[in-house]
Structure 1
Amino acid sequence: MRFSAFTASTPDWTPSEAVRILATQGYDGVEWRVTDQDDAPTPGFWAGNRATWPLTGLEALLPSIAAITRDAGLEISGIGGYARCFERDDVARLIAATAALQAGRVRVTMPMLRTGHYRDLFAGARKDLAWACSLAADQGVTILIELHHETIASSASAAMRLVEDLDPASVGVIHDLGNLIIEGHEDHRAAFELLGPYLQHVHVKNVAWHPSPPSGDGVVTWQPDWSPLREGQADVAAYLRLLREVGYDGWVTLEDFSTAVPLEERTADNLAYLRSLVTG
């Protein structure tokens, strides 16, 4: 396995700082966040993230992205795009950028739930993916679908229904350990076996559910929150063991959105922890 970090989870660093620190810590690669984002008074994961490349004007930035990554001695494990599958112009731009960077794979996001009737959203996404895969195949790029809560592809089973008739050389699935704690969890071994050749990328983070104070009638509701890798509800050690047992040897990307530990300490400790699990 090779380890990278998704820059959504490194908001305090500029791109140059991110690759320098990650390389020094021993990471093999970086997964670049690419999206137009809102400004924020302080850097945050989703707004004001300093390690994010904008989609607007992306083409002119490609030489800088390539040089910064190469000069740090890292590979690009993938492009973390945010274009929905039906935003075809943006999807095409991300595919072309991924090809130019020789990054190999790019995330294309699925429709959000409750933005239409589920069957209609699903049918539309199938058509959009067939179109995107044809375009990606011509440019030597693989489209990645992330298992993500509150989308039409929160589980491995749902993702498999989206991709099962498409060439795994041009489309794959990101199995995301933390997202599945929120929604979509299935037995991991069964999910890996179900996905087969479509299991092409892995995201690792952790989540814990916490109760809210009881309401006036005594009802307690529960909410998920990002957690340090060792403290959430997902068994990270068992997860990596199962990945190895099914023969997965691709990228494992860390995207820890917890904040209990300072960023540089967090990225270093996370990598050391995961490496200890696969070499111990």
Structure 2
Amino acid sequence: MDPRQAARALAEQGWDGVEWRITDQREAPEPGFWAGNRSTWPFTGLEERLDEIERVTRDAGLAFSGLGGYQRCDDHDGVERMLAATARLGAERVRVTMLPLGTAASGEGEPSGRSYPDLFDETREHVRWLADRAAAHGVLALIELHPRTVVSSASAAVRLLEDVDPAHVGVIHDSGNLVSEGGEDTLAGFQMLGSHLAHVHLKNARWRVVGEEGEGALAGTKRWAPGPVPLREGQCDLLDLVRSLRRVGYDGWLTVEDFSTDEPLAARTAGNLAYLRAVLAAADAEG
């Protein structure tokens, strides 16, 4: 679906808002989540598209849950543009990505090989700059708990955001990401984040055996990897997650990022909405 088709479909199904993905992506012969995604707005020339983004969103009767930015915290020029675009659209909040681990590839580049303490200290300086710029634009910058970055867990986010005003920089809790890396007790994680808990992404995942390796005494050693699954099938208990959100008083957005492909897209989004409504109703019934 292109953005207009996607916005119309989501509105007809009963969703409240949309969180547009904004990035320059690779072309692909078939549309995918990260390449050839037809609902992605390009970062190049973004300012010339803001009127269209606003029109497509508002004409469908949808709100902005935020903007799914991909500009990294050390790209100050790019981050500044995303903050300004967020303010112009009235989208209120925008994701800014963090530095990858020294063992993790970044885009088309090779792993940096840098140590975690070094990367963490640099990221902390970028986040302080980010807080000042977000305040200047009157928007909230969001840091996502994400595997293979310096901020994969609530604990790491708490360390990173020491002395940073939660009015300017908040945290995206992401259930599916935490299946891969950074998993902590759900309620404890929310309690640790406190007022920095600003946004919630919902997806699900589970670990699978993806092969075997080894010879001799090591033969049969299993290799495991996480992968996306439908919301109700993964290792994250979404009912427990919503219960925990209720306990800490969270009343913000729940934004779905379902990277499973078991069902056709329209059936998947409609089914996710029905499932989440059932989860919320079950949590509410418990008081």
Q: Quote the residue 2:119 is aligned against.
A: 121
Matched, 1:26 2:14: yes
Whichever of the two has the greater Rg, that structure is: 2
Q: d(CA) in 2 for partners of 1:177 and 1:24?
A: 26
For the residues of structure 2 that align with 1:213 and 1:174, how far apart are their CA atoms? 32
Q: Distance in 2 between matches of 1:204 and 1:135?
A: 28
2-side partners of 1:27 and 1:157: how far apart? 32
Q: Is the 8 A contact 2:211 2:224 kept in 1?
A: no
Partner of 1:258: 260
Question: Mean alpha-carbon deviation: is it higher for 139-148 or for 125-134?
Answer: 125-134
More deviation, 227-236/114-123: 114-123
1:27-46: CA deviation from partner (whole Å, max 9, x where unpaired):
11000100000000111000
Inter-partner Cα distance in structure 2 for 1:218 and 1:250: 46
What are the residue-to-residue correspondences of 1:11-160 with 2, within 5 Å?
Answer: 13-114=1-102, 115=112, 116-160=114-158
Instruction: Please identify, of 248-257 and 160-169, the stretch whose mean Cα deviation from structure 2 is larger.
Output: 160-169
Inter-partner Cα distance in structure 1 for 2:28 and 2:146:
25
Partner letter of residue 7 of structure 2?
A: V
How many angstroms does 1:212 deviate by? 2.5
1:279 is matched with: 281
Under a length normalisation based on structure 2, what TM-score does the superposition of the two structures give?
A: 0.92
Give the structure 1 partner of residue 230 of structure 2: 228
Q: Corresponding residue for 2:106?
A: none
Partners of 1:187 and 1:265 in 2: CA distance: 32
C-alpha separation in 2, matches of 1:59 and 1:146? 24
Return 5+ residue gaps in structure 1 as ranges.
1-12
2-structure distance, mates of 1:82, 1:271 = 26
> Corresponding residue for 1:188?
186
The percent of aligned pairs where both chains have the same amino acid is: 57
SS of 1:203 mapped into structure 2: strand
Question: Who is 1:6 aligned against?
Answer: none
- How much does 1:226 deviate? 0.3
- Aligned CA RMSD, in angstroms, stands at 0.9
Structure 1 stretches of 4+ moved >6 Å: none
Distance 2:83 2:12 in 1: 30
Q: Displacement, 1:201?
A: 0.2
In 2, Cα distance between equivalents of 1:86 and 1:14: 30
Task: Write the distance in 1 (CA, Å) between the matches of 2:147 and 2:201.
Answer: 14
C-alpha distance in structure 2 between counterparts of 1:164 and 1:191, whole Å: 16
- 1:244: Cα distance to partner? 1.3
**Counterpart Cα distance in 2 of 1:37 and 1:146:** 20
Q: Which has the higher contact order (CA 8 A, sep 6+)?
A: 1
Tell me how many residue pairs correspond in the alignment: 268
1:213, 1:150 → 2: CA distance?
21
- Please state how far the C-alpha of 1:174 moved relative to its aligned partner: 0.2
Q: Which residue pairs with 2:199 in the alignment?
A: 201
